[in-house]
């Protein structure tokens, strides 16, 4: 299932094709090995309060979220082969293409909302 992620505070769409990683394996693998991450894509890792970018090929924007979806910390354009600090207030992490948080004006304290993305349907005739 894909998710839409909206910044309710700014009225901005952050992703319309975000994936959710909840199993140990999915959380561990995350975005490893991806050659690119297009605008509109992302990964929501639940539960999570620290990440690594080992074996990644691209920088990512990272938003650490509390249980209510409030941004408690953000990292802009985190490069490959890094480890974040432990964010004790965080319950989950949203990983996005580098530049997404700055382009949307997202700041710590902003509230994000997740809703299922509409499935892609057949093309109209």
Residues 87-119 pLDDT 10s: 999 999 999 999 999 999 999 999 999 999 877
Model's pTM, two decimal places?
Answer: 0.91
Question: Where is 15: in which H helix or E strand?
Answer: strand 12-21
Task: Quickly count: other Cβ atoms within 10 Å of residue 23's Cβ.
Answer: 8
Percent of the chain with pLDDT over 90: 74
- Please give the angle made by the CA atoms of 45, 51 and 52, to the nearest 5 degrees: 125
- Which CATH architecture group holds 2-113? Sandwich (2.60)
Sheet holding 40-45, edge to edge: 71-78, 60-65, 92-97, 40-45, 12-21, 3-7, 112-116
pLDDT at 45: 94
**Is the per-residue pLDDT at 29 higher than 90?**
no
CA distance 80 to 55: 7
Torsion of CA 75, 77, 79, 85, to 10 degrees: 0
């Amino acid at each position: 299932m894909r998710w839409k992620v909206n910044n309710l505070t700014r009225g901005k769409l952050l992703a319309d094709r975000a994936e959710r990683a909840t199993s140990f394996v999915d959380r561990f693998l995350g975005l490893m090995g991806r050659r690119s991450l297009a605008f509109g894509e992302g990964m929501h890792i639940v539960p999570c309060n620290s990440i690594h970018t080992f074996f990644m090929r691209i920088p990512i924007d990272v938003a650490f979220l509390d249980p209510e979806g409030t941004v408690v910390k953000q990292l802009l354009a985190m490069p490959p082969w890094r480890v974040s600090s432990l964010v004790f207030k965080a319950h989950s992490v949203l990983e996005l293409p580098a530049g997404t948080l700055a382009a949307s004006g997202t700041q710590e304290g902003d509230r994000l909302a997740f809703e299922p993305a509409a499935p892609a349907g057949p093309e109209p005739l």
